[in-house]
Structure 1
Amino acid sequence: MDTYIFTYETTVDAPIEEVWSFFHTAENLVKITSFPTITLHSDPETREGNTIRMKMWIGPVKADWHSYIQEVKPHEYFVDVGVKLPFPLKSWRHTHSFVKKGDSTVMRDIVEIQSILPTSILGPALHGMFRGRADAVRRHFNRL
């Protein structure tokens, strides 16, 4: 099974300290993800060694998603690895990086994923999800 590497970059008009603080808790993942619907069932802190347990709904279908926070370097990046994934995913490794650019922050997501879905379906689905999250993050920081 091939590994698909998906990347997405978002520039946020906010200092890196504020953006990092926002992503330091998975509670905000719930706020910025409109699809699929997500609920948290564990400690939401983005800290090394923590496993964040989530339930997600895609229409009437419920699935578990557990992400292990493998590595954290404050204000630079963190890595989460899927340890319990919904069908059709086989593996998931997501590096979230944050780079200061003047008064703004560039967020870069790199997802290494294996799935039974072809990349012709997986790529557009991921792009849509991350675009929606990027829009929600920008709206959040524009309100502050």
Structure 2
Amino acid sequence: MRLTIQTSVEQDYQSVKRGFTEDLFLKLNPPFPPVQLKRFDGSSEGDVVELELNFLLFRQTWRSLITEDGETEQEWYFIDEGVKLPFFLKYWKHHHRVLKRGSGSQIVDDIHFRSPFLLMDFLLYPVLGLQFLYRKPAYKKIFST
């Protein structure tokens, strides 16, 4: 399945790029499930990000590898792909894009995911959608002028 969330922010794309840090990553996490950041190398090809999701009765590890990154005069992007995923996911590819839009930017979360079962994909879609919609006001606040 594919999920795309777009957020317009006031800062130029180079400033937004510099803001994609470990601190931002922590601010973007919704209250549930609580996340403990185990490793954050950055957003360049070869970097690893590892989290522990706490579902109260059990914990799940999520490890992603940054498989690609790039930049043009109009865009900066990186792609993370799931290497070790929670039991409810079997595939994860997240294309993070920051596009130049006049004096501001547009942040695009373009996500492809699959669960072990097609029905579960449809059940996960609104849950993941809400998780990423949670980021919109955070992005707007953090990247305001």
Distance in 2 (alpha carbons) for counterparts of 1:115 and 1:104: 35
What is the CA–CA distance in structure 2 between the aligned matches of 1:60 and 1:30, rounded to whole Å? 22
What does residue 103 of structure 1 align with? 103
Q: CA deviation at 1:114?
A: 0.7
Compute the TM-score of the two structures, normalised by the length of structure 2: 0.86
Report what 2:2 is aligned to.
Answer: 5
- Give the paired residue count: 139
CA distance in 1 between counterparts of 2:34 and 2:18 reads 23
CA-atom RMSD in angstroms = 1.7
| Unmatched tracts of structure 2, length 5 or more | none
Deviation, 1:27, is: 3.7
Report the counterpart of residue 29 of structure 1 in structure 2.
25
Q: Distance in 1 between matches of 2:18 and 2:24?
A: 10
The answer for the alignment partner of 2:129 in structure 1 is 127
* Letter matched to residue 56 of structure 1: L
Aligned-pair distance for 1:61?
2.6
Instruction: Judge which range, 91-100 or 49-58, deviates more.
Output: 49-58
The CA distance in 2 between the partners of 1:30 and 1:56, in whole Å, is 13
Structure 1 CA distance, aligned partners of 2:140 and 2:55?
25
**Which residue of 2 is the match for residue 76 of structure 1?**
76
Unpaired stretches in structure 1, ≥5 consecutive residues? none
Q: Is the 8 A contact 1:27 1:40 kept in 2?
A: no
- Change in CA separation of 1:124 and 1:72 when aligned onto 2, cut-off 3 Å: same
CA–CA distance in structure 2, aligned partners of residues 56 and 33 of structure 1? 11
Amino acid at match of 1:81: E
Taking structure 1 as the reference length, the TM-score comes to 0.87
Is this contact kept in 1: 2:62–2:84, CA < 8 A?
yes
* Shift in Å, 1:120: 3.1
Task: Find out whether 1:115 has 2:111 as its counterpart.
Answer: no
- 2:44 corresponds to 1:42: no
Cα 1:22/1:60, change in 2 over 3 Å:
farther
